[in-house]
Amino acid sequence: MSVIRTEGLCKYFKDKKALEELNLEVPKGIIFGYLGPNGAGKTTTIRVLLNLAKPTKGTAYILGEDIRKSRNYLRKVGFLPDVPNFYNFFTAREFLSFIADITGIENPKKRIEETLDLVGLKNEKSRIGTYSRGMKQRLGLAQALLPDPELLILDEPTSSLDPQGRKEVLDLIFSLKGNKTVFFSTHILTDVERICDRIGILKEGRLILEDSIENIKKRYRKRRVLIEVDNLEKFSDKIKETLPLNFLEIKDNSIIIEVSDIQYTLREIPKLIVQNDLVLERLEILEPSLEDVFLEVTSGV
């Protein structure tokens, strides 16, 4: 069963189509990265899923419940907002014990200490009003995790963390894999590459790509090969004559070529080397980074 399933979900603000026919499926136990440029509709999707905004058309099922008909599922969802803001007069501990109180957590004291430890706020005694943005983001994660939800919806969870904090939080999210389902939006592609199983890319309210990271890389693999030989000019002349190239570039001491048939190319290159009595110093198939894919997909190339 999918933890999140949206069916033709639309959200319009007056004439602005923030979400258009969104069909999304997030299976249980995975980490789902929700990507898209600014204003793509990521936060809007999250607001609709959390019943904070109403869908204009379509619906979504979360943990099997229709979000248009019920709000009970919210009890099993943890949410970190993009701009975390809490009651400034509370300390982190007081705030979490208020959350524990209203969500009915068993053994709250122990759970609060565990959670504060998890997000690195255990020794923080001051009021939330004095916190930095990164600290609020950590507290945001703590309040989302506190009731031990089945589904975590995180809106840009690492956006204002320092490198150390980002690593800690990503490790934390990664450690939840299998036990919980995590749906998180972000702009930071290296984060996604590190921990996500599947991603969805949103552009102008439309989902333009949804797949596992592996498949995406396979699908968007640019057939590029990097070659280094002792005589670059000779080799580049020869390769232009013998192979059908889409693209060739000489950069520093290497040649980068883009071809349509990678198998054929890899068979031909060693032959060329031998025939021309060259020394092969390096041969590498270039992997596309997720960033390449993201830029290619979102710029509509």
Partner 1 sequence: MVFKLMKKEFIEFRKTGKLIAIIVTFLLFSILSPITAKIMPEMIKSISSEITIIVPPPTWKDAFLQFFKNLNQIVFLIVVLLFIGSIAEEKNRRTAGLIVSKGIDRREWVLAKFLFQISLVFVLTIVSFFLCYYYSAILFPYTEFGTSLQSCLLFLFYMTFIISLTIFSSSVGNNIIQAGGIFIAIFIILGILNMFPSIKAYNPIYLSSLENQWIVSGVDWSSSIKTIISSVILSTLLVSVGVYLFNFQELE
Contact residues for partner 1 (CB under 8 A)? 47, 50-54, 71-75, 77, 79, 81, 83, 85-87, 89-90, 94, 98-99, 101-103, 143, 147
Q: Which stretch binds ligand ATP (CB under 6 A): 10-18, 62-70, 83-91, 276-284?
A: 10-18
Q: How far is the CB of 227 from Mg ion (least distance, A)?
A: 43
How would DSSP label each residue in 208-233? Answer: EEEEEHHHHHHHH---EEEEEES-HH
Name the binder of 44 from Mg ion, partner 1, ligand ATP, none, CB < 5-8 A by kind.
ligand ATP
Task: Compute the distance between CA of residue 182 and CA of residue 32 in angstroms, rounded to an integer.
Answer: 6
Q: Is 41 in the site for ligand ATP (CB under 6 A)?
A: yes
Task: Compute the distance between CA of residue 18 and CA of residue 36 in angstroms, rounded to an integer.
Answer: 12
Residues 278 and 230: beta-carbon distance below 8 Å: yes
Q: How far is the CB of 145 from partner 1 (least distance, A)?
A: 12
Residues 12 and 56: beta-carbon distance below 8 Å: yes
Among 11, 18, 43, 166, binds Mg ion (CB under 5 A): 43
Q: Which is nearer to Mg ion, 39 or 129 (CB)?
A: 39
Sequence-distant (≥ 6) Cβ neighbours of residue 216 within 8 angstroms: 199, 209, 290, 293
Name the binder of 54 from ligand ATP, Mg ion, partner 1, none, CB < 5-8 A by kind.
partner 1
Task: Compute the distance between CA of residue 256 and CA of residue 247 in angstroms, rounded to an integer.
Answer: 8
Name the binder of 52 from Mg ion, ligand ATP, partner 1, none, CB < 5-8 A by kind.
partner 1
Among 22, 24, 36, 61, binds ligand ATP (CB under 6 A): 36
Q: Quick one: DSSP state of residue 51?
A: T
Q: How far is the CB of 40 from ligand ATP (least distance, A)?
A: 4
Name the binder of 39 from partner 1, Mg ion, ligand ATP, none, CB < 5-8 A by kind.
ligand ATP
Name the token pair of 290: 């997720």
Q: Give Cα 13 to chain centroid, integer Å.
A: 26
Q: How far is the CB of 52 from ligand ATP (least distance, A)?
A: 10
How would DSSP label each residue in 252-270? Answer: TTEEEEEES-HHHHHHHHH
Q: Which is nearer to Mg ion, 18 or 273 (CB)?
A: 18
Q: How far is the CB of 274 from ligand ATP (least distance, A)?
A: 52
Provide the terminal-to-terminal Cα distance of the chain, rounded to the nearest Å: 35
Residue whose token pair is 């693209």: 247
Q: How far is the CB of 39 from ligand ATP (least distance, A)?
A: 4
Q: How far is the CB of 169 from Mg ion (least distance, A)?
A: 17
Q: Is 58 in the site for ligand ATP (CB under 6 A)?
A: no
How many other CB atoms are there within 10 angstroms of residue 187's CB atom?
A: 16
Residues linked to residue 77 through DSSP beta bridges, in sequence order: 151
Q: At 278, is the secondary structure helix, strand, or coil?
A: coil
Q: How far is the CB of 52 from partner 1 (least distance, A)?
A: 5
Task: Compute the distance between CA of residue 28 and CA of residue 63 in angstroms, rounded to an integer.
Answer: 9
Per-residue x/- track, 74-103, Mg ion (CB under 5 A): --------x---------------------
- Contacts to ligand ATP by CB under 6 A: 13, 16, 18, 36, 38-44, 82
- Contacts to Mg ion by CB under 5 A: 42-43, 82
